[in-house]
């Protein structure tokens, strides 16, 4: 297929085949259309043939009637002969008197009579003069009997019929009354208000001796009627093949042998709009000549049909040339740019852009206040010009200027201010992903929006720097914790071995106990640091599943119940009936419960109650931990969830200050939330879960 696209002989054969197929499709479709118009498919061949003959006979009768009418005031020189020897005719006046006749009783296949309500030359001799120099002459003409009609020149082949002295008894055929104009001797059209009708009867002979349009159409009908099914199939086949060849030519347009590049021809160098005008003008003229030839097939039918076929092929070639050129331009993406209109508009746009840039440069050099003053001065100048015109329409003009100029500008300014306000609100809310749209903003509004977007970029960079710093801290803590764990493990092991030895020195035993206690604390701190860094960096694995928070909360209460009782703390558990499901990681959730309960054991005031409450609302399930603090809480809720922050300012407790930070990181890792609330000595933690 690739070789065929670039093959010049293949494309030439395709063009020739396309023309032949188009010609065949039109020929077969025209023949089938003639059958359909004649009623072949509805009424049968005989009735359709008779219908076609009647149509041809009616058309010829009308042509005969037109030839007996005056043409530019010289109707006396018109011929009465039929256009073909295959037709015969009779002309009768309003009284049914035969005025001209070429019919001698030949056998005919169609007879058509048409009434014509127009003036024709023979009526003057039948009815006398229809105008006079004055009213007296007209009155005398009425009293004087009509003279004998003068002899009328009769063309060769026309039989002259004598005018009878008495009209025939037969009733004349009714014809409409018309108001006509006839030609006076001075070539002045005078009004004529008198009914002068006549009828034309045309006969189409069965034996056609002349090869004219009627004989040709009847022969075509006979051929088409004998091959009606074949015509439809041939037309469809030619159409499908022509479409296939046309698609091939479009695909092959612009291809050359041994090259994949689309190359333009000389036609693509012509601007497309000019090329289109030339092609359609030439094609329209060719089709007009084609139609005129088909409408005048009375003589030299074979020659005329050949010329018509050549003209149709030429029109098809022009259409194909336009389509191929269009395909090449589309492939090269030069369809729009290769037009004169585009070049003119582009040149105009560049000129307007240059003028606008020059004005913008001048205006930008002015301060903002002076720009506003300049705009107001321009508005006042326009108003002054309107008033100076001293026109009654000045008020209406000023109203329309305010309505269609200043009012839209004011609305645009308000919309721009709203966009800037919205951008400032988003930045104030901490939404650093929001960008103020600047597409429809101009001037200072656009500059202000750019400043807001730059502020957003600056905040984003600052946050990224802070996050990078936090990650570095986390990595440092993790690395240091790992480095500490190895010697710490050795210390813990050797301290444990020393504690098992029988040492009689009491001081040494005390020292060993201190070492054992502090090494265990240091080991827990190291483990908390590693876990806190993993939780904050998101490297911990999370398995989200349906968890029953009620069961987990009862387990935590059972595990820490005795420890709370030893600290003289009363545990109060509140939970709804039934299951309360949440989407969470059971292991991490249990660790959050442990951290919060351990925090209560360290900092709760003895002799108070500790409340554990499970709730479920529209936002999802939540667990609330409440206790009364032993020491005064001076830190804010945000500070308490930071690392290495303890509830007692003296830092005398055993905690590392990582419990709440780890709990918050683990909650956020599961898609939940942890909120700390401080009200005096009341310490409250709300742990929220997703549904």
In angstroms, the CA 123 to CA 141 distance is 16
In angstroms, the CA 615 to CA 554 distance is 14
The confidence score (pLDDT) of residue 625 equals: 93
Which residue, among 323, 316, 279, has the nearest Cα to 17 in the 3D structure?
316
Whether 318 contacts 28, CB under 8 Å: no
In angstroms, the CA 427 to CA 576 distance is 41
Question: Which residue shows structure tokens 């005008």?
Answer: 277
Would you give the DSSP letter of residue 488?
H
CA-based angle 199:203:206, to the nearest 5? 175
The confidence score (pLDDT) of residue 79 equals: 45
The confidence score (pLDDT) of residue 280 equals: 92
Helix-helix angle 272-295:340-364, to 10 degrees: 150
Residue partners of 7: CB distance under 8 A and separation at least 6: 257
Residues of the chain with pLDDT under 50: 70-79, 119-142, 144, 146-196, 644, 646-652
In this structure, the number of other CB atoms found within 10 A of the CB of residue 602 comes to 16
Q: Quick check: helix, strand or coil at residue 268?
A: helix
What are the residue boundaries of the structural domains of the chain, listed by start?
A: 53-219, 366-427, 541-688
Taking the model in full, what pTM does it have?
0.42
Which residue, among 560, 683, 668, 688, has the nearest Cα to 614 in the 3D structure?
688
* Parallel/antiparallel/unpaired status of strands 570-574 and 545-548: unpaired
The confidence score (pLDDT) of residue 371 equals: 67
Edge to edge, the sheet with strand 159-160 lists 108-116, 198-205, 87-93, 98-101, 159-160
Fold annotation for 541-688: Heat Shock Protein 90 (3.30.565)
In angstroms, the CA 38 to CA 53 distance is 9
Question: Which residue shows structure tokens 């582009």?
Answer: 346
The confidence score (pLDDT) of residue 431 equals: 78
Which residue, among 596, 603, 552, 580, has the nearest Cα to 686 in the 3D structure?
596
Q: How many CA atoms lie within 13 A of 498 on its CB side?
A: 16
The confidence score (pLDDT) of residue 428 equals: 80
Mark residue 25 as left, alpha or beta (left: phi above 0; alpha: psi -120 to 50; beta: remaining).
alpha
The confidence score (pLDDT) of residue 608 equals: 92
In angstroms, the CA 477 to CA 483 distance is 10
Token pair of 357, please? 């840039």
Max CA pair span of the chain: 178
Q: Quick check: helix, strand or coil at residue 155?
A: coil
Q: How many residues in the chain?
A: 691
Residue partners of 404: CB distance under 8 A and separation at least 6: none
Whether 588 contacts 542, CB under 8 Å: yes
């Amino acid at each position: 297929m690739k070789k065929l696209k670039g093959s010049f002989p293949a494309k030439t054969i395709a063009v020739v085949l396309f023309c032949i197929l188009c010609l065949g499709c039109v020929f077969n479709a025209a023949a089938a259309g003639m059958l359909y118009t004649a009623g072949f498919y509805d009424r049968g061949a005989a009735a359709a043939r008779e219908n076609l003959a009647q149509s041809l006979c009616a058309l010829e009768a009308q042509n005969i009637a037109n030839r007996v009418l005056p043409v530019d005031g010289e109707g006396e020189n018109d011929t009465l002969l039929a256009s073909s020897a295959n037709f015969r005719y009779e002309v009768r006046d309003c009284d049914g008197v035969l005025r001209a006749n070429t019919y001698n009783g030949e056998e005919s296949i169609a007879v058509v009579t048409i009434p014509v309500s127009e003036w024709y030359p023979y009526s003057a001799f039948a009815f006398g003069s229809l105008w006079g120099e004055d009213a007296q002459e007209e009155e005398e003409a009425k009293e004087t009997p009509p003279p004998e009609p003068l002899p009328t020149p009769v063309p060769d082949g026309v039989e002259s019929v004598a005018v009878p002295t008495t009209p025939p008894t037969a009733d004349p055929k009714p014809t409409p009354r018309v108001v006509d104009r006839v030609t006076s001797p001075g070539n002045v059209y005078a009004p004529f208000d008198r009914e002068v009708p006549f009828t034309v009867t045309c006969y189409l002979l069965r034996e056609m001796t002349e090869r004219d349009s009627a004989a040709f159409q009847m022969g075509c009908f006979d051929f088409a009627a004998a091959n009606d099914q074949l015509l439809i199939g041939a037309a469809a086949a030619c159409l499908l093949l022509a479409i296939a060849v046309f698609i091939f030519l479009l695909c092959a347009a612009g291809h050359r042998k041994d090259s994949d590049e689309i190359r333009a021809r000389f036609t693509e160098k012509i601007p497309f709009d000019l090329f289109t005008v030339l092609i359609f003008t030439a094609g329209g003229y060719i089709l007009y000549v084609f139609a005129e030839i088909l409408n005048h097939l009375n003589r030299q039918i074979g020659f005329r049909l050949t010329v018509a076929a050549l003209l149709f092929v030429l029109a098809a070639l022009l259409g194909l040339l336009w389509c191929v050129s269009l395909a090449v331009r589309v492939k090269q993406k030069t369809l729009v740019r290769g037009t004169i209109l585009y070049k003119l508009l582009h040149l105009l746009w560049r000129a307007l852009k240059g003028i606008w840039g020059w004005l913008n440069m001048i205006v930008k050099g002015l301060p903002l206040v002076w720009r506003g003053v300049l705009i107001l001065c321009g508005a006042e100048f326009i108003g002054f010009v309107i008033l100076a015109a001293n026109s009654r329409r000045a008020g209406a003009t000023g109203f329309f200027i305010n309505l269609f100029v200043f009012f839209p500008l004011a609305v645009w300014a308000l919309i721009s201010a709203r966009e800037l306000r919205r951008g400032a609100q988003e930045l104030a809310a901490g939404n650093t992903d929001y960008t103020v749209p600047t597409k429809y903003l101009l001037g200072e509004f656009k500059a202000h929006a750019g400043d807001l977007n730059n502020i957003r970029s600056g905040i984003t960079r600052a946050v990224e720097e802070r996050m990078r710093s936090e990650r570095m801290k986390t990595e440092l803590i993790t690395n240091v914790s790992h480095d500490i764990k190895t010697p710490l493990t050795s210390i813990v092991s050797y301290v444990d071995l020393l504690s098992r030895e029988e040492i009689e020195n009491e001081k040494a035993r005390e020292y060993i106990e201190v070492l054992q206690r502090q090494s265990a604390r240091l080991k827990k701190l190291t483990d908390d640091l590693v876990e806190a860094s993993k939780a904050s960096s998101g490297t911990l694995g999370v398995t989200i599943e349906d968890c029953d928070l009620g069961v987990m909360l009862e387990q935590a209460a059972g595990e820490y119940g005795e420890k709370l009782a030893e600290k003289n703390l009363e545990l109060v558990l509140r939970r709804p009936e039934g299951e309360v499901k949440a989407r969470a990681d059971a292991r991490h959730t249990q660790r959050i419960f442990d951290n919060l309960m351990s925090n209560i054991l360290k900092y709760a005031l003895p002799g108070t109650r500790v409340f554990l409450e499970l709730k479920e609302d529209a936002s999802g399930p939540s667990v609330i931990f409440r206790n009364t603090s032993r020491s005064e809480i001076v830190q804010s809720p945000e500070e308490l969830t930071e690392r290495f922050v303890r509830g007692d300012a003296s830092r005398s407790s055993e905690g590392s200050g990582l419990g709440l930070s780890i709990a918050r990181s683990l909650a956020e890792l599961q898609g939940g939330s942890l909120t700390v609330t401080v009200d005096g000595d009341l310490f409250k933690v709300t742990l929220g879960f997703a549904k």
